[in-house]
């Protein structure tokens, strides 16, 4: 059994061993060092890329944003920091860190200036995507950085580097941070800076691990004790970086499960012949679920039966409210208009319109009751 295991391990090592493809070490280090500095043309390229990315975010154009990410030279000092920690080159670490800070500050200033003069201040989906980092962003940064260093440190790079530039998306968070500063939206600024920080830490981490995988020689002055100390501090930094993203990810998963439970409840329990659920509004904070039904009126006892089944879908502590009425056509038109109101500033209006529908239906019920009582009064 041990012989089979050893044979299998040898075969796997043969396939996954990157060392035969390793580029000359000094050539890789010089190549990375050449991309660390931000001066002259390199700095102007960064400024132009920031303007392009800001324009793309402003007009919500994914193609323009991708183009800016391909132009951006921001990856250089980040990989430089990871390499410096991996081989113990503190001079390179100091140079990379300094240029990284300069590039970051100039990028944010450039984006802020653009959004200050831009006439369009609407929050687009591409902007919102950079304000709530999760563990998925951590994994993208880590594996993207790993692919980038593996391509840099080995022969036959192919088209890996452009793909890494797109996947890790260093430019858009800085532009979103500039948008947050220019418009006074501080949560956007903080969320975008955190995403950029995640990308920086985990691209550096994957570069550091890549130097160990490709067995880069460490500087002679880097003792084993010093190396272990550096690795310990790096590990603490990585863990601290991941904690906020973990909380956001947990909340994201909970939201996804909640939406699935609501969807299953509506699909399984409200498939009623002659009646259609036009729309629904679920509020996790207020623990309410509001349904708008059109078509044949659903009896109250039937609604109560379904209300008791909500616990099956983990919605037992939610208050169910069913809004239904006879003016089907007008409700459909109103419901379609309400579904289009998804921005934050229209939430209050959305709730008001739903309340109006509820009051109109209640008025209709009272009118019908009054009409039914009139014949009895006339008989008297």
Per-residue pLDDT of the chain (380 residues; tens, 9 = 90+): 677 777 887 777 777 778 778 888 888 888 888 888 888 888 899 899 999 989 888 888 888 888 888 888 888 899 999 998 888 888 888 999 999 999 999 999 999 999 999 887 777 777 777 777 888 888 888 898 888 888 888 876 666 767 777 777 788 899 999 999 998 889 889 988 998 999 899 999 999 988 888 888 887 766 777 777 877 888 888 888 888 888 888 888 888 888 899 999 998 888 888 788 877 888 888 888 888 887 778 888 888 888 888 988 988 888 888 887 654 444 555 555 555 554 544 555 566 666 666 666 667 666 766 666 665 555 55
What pLDDT shows up at residue 346?
Answer: 56
Q: Are both 294 and 327 inside the same structural domain?
A: yes
Asked if residue 13 belongs to a domain, the reply is no
pLDDT score, position 110: 94
CA torsion sign for 276, 279, 284, 286 is: negative
My answer on whether 183 and 301 are in the same domain is no
Per DSSP, the three-state class of 22 is strand
Residue 262 belongs to a domain: no
Q: What is the pLDDT of residue 329?
A: 47
Q: Among residues 77, 283, 115, 257, which one has the least CA distance to residue 192?
A: 115
Tell me, what's the pLDDT at 106? 93
Cβ neighbours for 342, distance < 8 A, ≥ 6 positions apart: none
Q: Do residues 64 and 135 both lie within one domain?
A: yes
The last residue of one of the domains, among 220, 255, 290, is 255
Same domain as 202, residue 61: yes
Q: 3-class SS at 275? A: strand
Does residue 359 sit in the same domain as residue 222?
Answer: no
Query: 226, 255, 284 — which closes off a domain?
Result: 255
The CA distance from 62 to 372, in Å, is 61
Question: Looking at the domain assignment, is residue 55 inside a domain?
Answer: yes
Same structural domain, 279 and 222: no
CA end-to-end distance (rounded Å), the chain: 100
Query: The domain containing residue 281 runs over which residues?
Result: 272-379
**Are 208 and 342 part of one and the same domain?**
no
**281 and 245 inside one domain:** no
Give the pLDDT confidence score for residue 43 in this predicted structure.
Answer: 87
Q: Does the residue 263 lie in any domain?
A: no
Residues with Cβ within 8 Å of 115's Cβ and at least 6 positions away in sequence, in order, are 54, 58, 121, 178, 179, 181, 182, 183
Going by C-alpha positions, the residue among 98, 138, 137 that lies closest to residue 238 is: 138
Are 60 and 24 members of one domain?
A: yes
Does residue 63 sit in the same domain as residue 104? yes
Do 244 and 288 have their domain in common? no
Is there a single domain that holds both residue 175 and residue 303?
Answer: no
Per-residue confidence (pLDDT) for residue 236, from 0 to 100: 87
Nearest to 129 by CA among 182, 188, 43: 188
Strands 288-295 and 275-283: antiparallel
Report yes or no: 53 and 65 within 8 Å, Cβ to Cβ. Answer: yes
pLDDT the model gives residue 60 = 84
Instruction: Count the domains in the chain.
Output: 2
Please name which of 344, 357, 352, 319 lies closest in space to residue 128, comparing C-alpha atoms: 344
| CATH number of the domain enclosing 214 | 1.20.1080
Residue 213 falls inside a structural domain = yes
């Amino acid at each position: 059994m041990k012989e089979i295991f050893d044979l299998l391990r040898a075969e796997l090592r043969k396939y996954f061993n990157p060392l035969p493809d390793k580029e000359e070490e000094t050539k890789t280090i010089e190549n990375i060092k050449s991309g660390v500095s931000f001066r002259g043309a390199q700095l102007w390229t960064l400024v132009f890329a920031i303007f392009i990315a800001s324009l793309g975010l402003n007009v919500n154009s994914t193609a323009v944003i991708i183009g800016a990410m391909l132009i951006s030279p921001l990856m250089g000092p980040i990989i430089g920091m990871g390499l410096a920690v991996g081989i113990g080159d503190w001079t390179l670490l100091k140079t990379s860190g300094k240029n990284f800070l300069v590039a970051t500050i100039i990028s944010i200033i450039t984006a802020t200036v653009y959004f200050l003069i831009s006439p369009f201040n609407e929050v687009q989906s591409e902007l919102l995507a950079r304000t709530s980092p999760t563990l998925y962003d951590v994994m993208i940064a880590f594996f993207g950085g790993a692919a980038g260093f593996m391509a840099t440190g080995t022969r036959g790079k192919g088209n890996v580097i452009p793909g890494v530039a797109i996947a890790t998306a260093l430019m858009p968070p800085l532009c979103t941070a500039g948008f947050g500063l220019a418009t006074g939206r501080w949560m956007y600024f903080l969320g975008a800076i955190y995403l950029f920080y995640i990308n920086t830490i985990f691209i550096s981490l994957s570069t550091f691990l890549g130097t160990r995988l490709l067995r880069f020689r460490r500087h002679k002055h880097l003792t084993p004790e010093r190396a272990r100390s550096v690795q310990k501090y790096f590990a603490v930094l990585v863990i601290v970086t991941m904690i906020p993203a973990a909380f956001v990810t947990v909340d994201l998963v909970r939201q996804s499960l909640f939406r699935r439970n609501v969807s299953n409840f509506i699909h399984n329990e409200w498939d009623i012949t002659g009646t259609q659920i036009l729309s629904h509004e679920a509020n996790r904070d207020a623990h309410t679920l509001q349904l708008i039904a059109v078509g044949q009126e659903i009896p109250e006892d039937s609604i109560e039966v379904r209300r008791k089944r909500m616990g099956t879908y983990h919605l037992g502590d939610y208050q169910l409210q069913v809004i239904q009425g006879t003016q089907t056509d007008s409700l459909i038109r109103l419901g379609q208009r309400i579904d289009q109101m998804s921005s934050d500033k229209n939430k209050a209006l959305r709730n008001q319109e739903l309340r109006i529908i509820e009051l109109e239906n209640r008025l209709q019920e009272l009118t019908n009751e009054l009409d039914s009582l009139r014949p009895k009064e006339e008989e008297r």
